[in-house]
Structure 1
Amino acid sequence: MGPILKRCKTEKKRKHPEPNLPDGFGLGDHIQLLQIFECWDQTDYDIGWCKDNGLQVRGMLFVRDVRKQLSQIMQKIAKGPLDRRRGESRQDYRNLRKALCVGYANQLAERKMHHNGYRTLGFQGQVVQVHPSSVLKADDLGKFPDYVVYHELIATPRPYMRNVCSVEMRWVVPVINKLKTLDVYKLSGGTGPVEEENERNIPDLPKKNVEVTAGVDDSESRIQAARERFLARKGKK
């Protein structure tokens, strides 16, 4: 998901007023991005509208092409035209958030109890913060939603989540329970703890073989010595 919002310098901000873009109802950046595209769709994809609102034209055109490709794929699956309507409802946004929760199950984060820091869920979690540019809205107590899905992590002195969207706990719990049963090593194609332990034991195998071989040689020597003593006693008789 490439950036479509331009980051203007301070002088340019003074010359141009702030763009009047939707805020995603405070639900997150994914909802805002969808609302921005809906507004652009209502202008019949006017390039001037993108420039007036500080949007990257190239990024918006790319989004339009991707949406067109997805629509064509859905038409093939449905074997007919799609019932496309302008403007999305709150229920549509809720369905989108739920789809993001399931589709990005490995990119969920849970808010810490006493502050707005988050801890990523799943394998090797880490403490992260919501990026300051996010439109995610806090509640009356100043706290962010308990769970969010993020699109990417930014490696800075303080790790941030960029492009985040709030999700509900009842969507997260089944996903987390399923993740707990997955074999991370198997999915990644790496070696698991059992295989690594076996690999550590491999150097000991030649030693064991040497010891077994030495034991066999000693047994044969004792048998040969016993046979010679028997023949010697028999010869004396």
Structure 2
Amino acid sequence: MAEFPLDPQLAKTLLASESYSVAEQVATVCAMVSIGASVFYRPKDKKVFADNAHKNFSRGNVGDHLALMACYDGWAESNFSTQWCYENYVQVRSMKRARDIRDQLVGLMERVEIEMTSNAQDHDGVKKAVAAGYFYNCARLQRDGSYRTVKHPQTVHLHPSSSLAEVLPRWVVYHELVLTTKEYMRTISEIKPEWLVEIAPHFYSKQDVLEDGRKLPKGKGKAAMDG
């Protein structure tokens, strides 16, 4: 991890990507989250058009990390077209910065001999890699619609800009917390609670991920959870 000039959480995410054979996809996700919240924009006179364009990236309620990946992939497929950015209400300058960061990350990954595997359809693999780096940033839905972080519990909320804001998944991993009127989670993906025991057994026990008072089924080892 010392080879990467990154936050330890992002570095761990990149390293974990090889285990799930999604290194190419995770390099894209890490580059996109590195540029912050400056990817999408909503002109006042075209809010509906912008919202519809942005929703296309998160079809199927895939979550924010995968929506960012879809945005980058769409831009790449357009041969990094500026016109594509205008049509999809995406910041050209931010995307160019993401491309530069991604190129640097891929170079670093190759230097430490991470195999640049690719599986664009394995959404769970990408989310597991993110959870491997950000396992501390996990929260569980409460009855009142708020969330509570799993360890060192505090009340947090889905950021209104999240593609999952109307979905309210039961378990989420988030990139960062932003304090405005409330403590908001930003850049969010849905996860399965048993992944936490698989990914970070030193940090989470089965007791931590009990849902509705029910224990996880006995014998849920690593192999079973991978399914």
Query: Normalised by the size of structure 1, how large is the TM-score?
Result: 0.62
- TM alignment of 1:129-140, pairs within 5 A: 129-136=157-164
Q: Choose between structure 1 and 2: higher helix proportion.
A: 1
Which secondary structure state, in structure 2, belongs to the residue aligned with residue 6 of structure 1? coil
1:118 is the counterpart of 2:163: no
Match of 1:127 among 155, 165, 171: 155
The answer to whether residue 34 in structure 2 is matched with residue 5 in structure 1 is: no
Cα distance in 1 between the residues matched to 2:104 and 2:188: 25
Given that 1:26 and 1:137 are in contact with CA atoms closer than 8 Å, whether structure 2 keeps it comes out as: no
Once the two structures are superposed, the pairs formed by residues 139-178 of structure 1 within 5 Å of their partners are: 144-174=168-198, 177-178=201-202
Look up the match of 1:231.
none
Q: Is the 8 A contact 1:146 1:169 kept in 2?
A: no
**Shift in CA distance, 173/68, structure 1 to aligned 2, threshold 3 Å:** same
SS of the aligned residue for 2:162 comes to coil
Q: Which runs of 5+ in 2 are unaligned?
A: 1-32, 206-227
Does residue 37 (structure 1) correspond to residue 72 (structure 2)? The answer is: yes
Larger radius of gyration: 1
Structure 1, unaligned runs of 5 or more? 182-237
Structure 1 stretches of 4+ moved >4 Å: 14-18, 174-177
Q: Which has the higher contact order (CA 8 A, sep 6+)?
A: 2
- Asked if 1:104 is matched to 2:139, the reply is no
- TM-score, normalised to structure 2's length? 0.64
Cα offset for 1:145? Answer: 2.1
Distance 1:170 1:83, change over 3 A: closer
Q: Does the aligned pair in 2 maintain the 1:147–1:166 contact within 8 Å?
A: yes
Query: Partner amino acid for 2:139?
Result: A
**AA aligned opposite 2:40:** K
The equivalent of 2:81 in structure 1 is 46
Say how many residue pairs are matched: 170
2:124 is paired with a residue whose SS is helix
